Structure 1
Amino acid sequence: MDAEKYFLLQDQSVPTNRGFYTSDKRTTAPQVKFKRTQKFEPKILVWIAISEKGISKPFFSKQKQAVSQTTYLNQCIIQRLMPFVTSYHNKEKVLFWPDLASSHYGNNVLQYLDQNDVQFVDKKFNPQNCPQARPIETLWSILKNMVYDEGWEAKTINQLRRRIAKKLKEIDIKVAQQMFSGIRRQLRKIADNGPYEACSS
């Protein structure tokens, strides 16, 4: 299973980052009261694959647009997913569940997976907006809280990248194993009753 997510230098969605409290606003520093925000804030895209065996080597991209099919194939599938699969799994027993990003189902990507005997979830059986069926979405939430813990903010994209890489290594393998404990049951629901059945549980 794989997915990609954008991270900002700071994240206002984390509860500890949402506000500033003071008993006397006259003593509040100007940079707090009049904090500027950018229209297009710097961000970095992170791609990972996970299984019950752990987390793959991440791919980072500073580009502002979505990852292209060529980049996804070369950087994510060939250089990261395949070594992860061959190192920890019997390839013949693997069912790869891609994210629904358009590049993940590009013709060149699917052709490569077929040529290398990697089974994957067909796009028509891949449900949209259904985090209950994709434990990697829970992992993103855990990682985000770890990265921005106690109001942490990055000064640069490179600093943010190092922080994310460090926190990924700190995630306990047991977390991934627990996430996948019910994945076969969810997949069976989808196969038997349609792609959105898992979202109802």
Structure 2
Amino acid sequence: MATAHYAANVIAAYEDLNINYVPKEKNVPNVPQLRSIERFWQNLKREVYSGGWEASSHKELKQRTLLKIRQTKTPTFENLMRRVKTKIRQASRYGADSVL
């Protein structure tokens, strides 16, 4: 949650309304490495621009991107999701740097 969600008056409202929330000290910070979609985009970008390729138009970039997505094998996507829950728990216990 954003810092504003941990303001004293907000926490008091949560408690008054019996709303469960994750305490700030247990809330993992924004860690892009834990988000599979970020790794997907990173890998796709690497593939699209491999070999120094540059797009000369939006249409050409779109076509190349779609080609690289089609060429990506299913296990690649599965590997991105492997151990996500474990990594999140690890980051929660030992800090975000522990999953890098």
TM over 0.5: yes
Work out whether 1:176 is the aligned partner of 2:83. no
Q: How does 1:65-144 map to 2 (within 5 A)?
A: 125=27, 127-128=29-30, 130-144=31-45
Aligned counterpart in structure 2 of residue 200 of structure 1, from 94, 97, 100:
97
TM-score (norm 2): 0.58
Counterpart residue number, 2:50: 149
1:142 alignment partner AA: N
Q: Report the counterpart of residue 85 of structure 1 in structure 2.
A: none
Distance 2:84 2:71 in 1: 23
Superposition deviation, residue 170 in structure 1 = 1.3
- Partner SS, residue 82 of structure 2: coil
Two-structure CA RMSD over aligned residues (Å): 2.5
State the alpha-carbon separation in 2 of the partners of residues 181 and 143 from structure 1.
18
* Larger fraction in helix: 2
Aligned residue type for 1:200: D
**% identical equivalent positions:** 30
Deviations 1:93-128 (A, max 9, x none): xxxxxxxxxxxxxxxxxxxxxxxxxxxxx9x85732
| Higher relative contact order (Cα pairs below 8 Å, separated by 6+ residues) | 2
1:13-35: per-residue Cα shift (whole Å, max 9, x none)?
A: xxxxxxxxxxxxxxxxxxxxxxx
TM-score (norm 1): 0.32
Equivalenced residue count is 74
Q: 1:187 to 1:148 in 2, by over 3 A?
A: same
Say which structure is richer in strand: 1
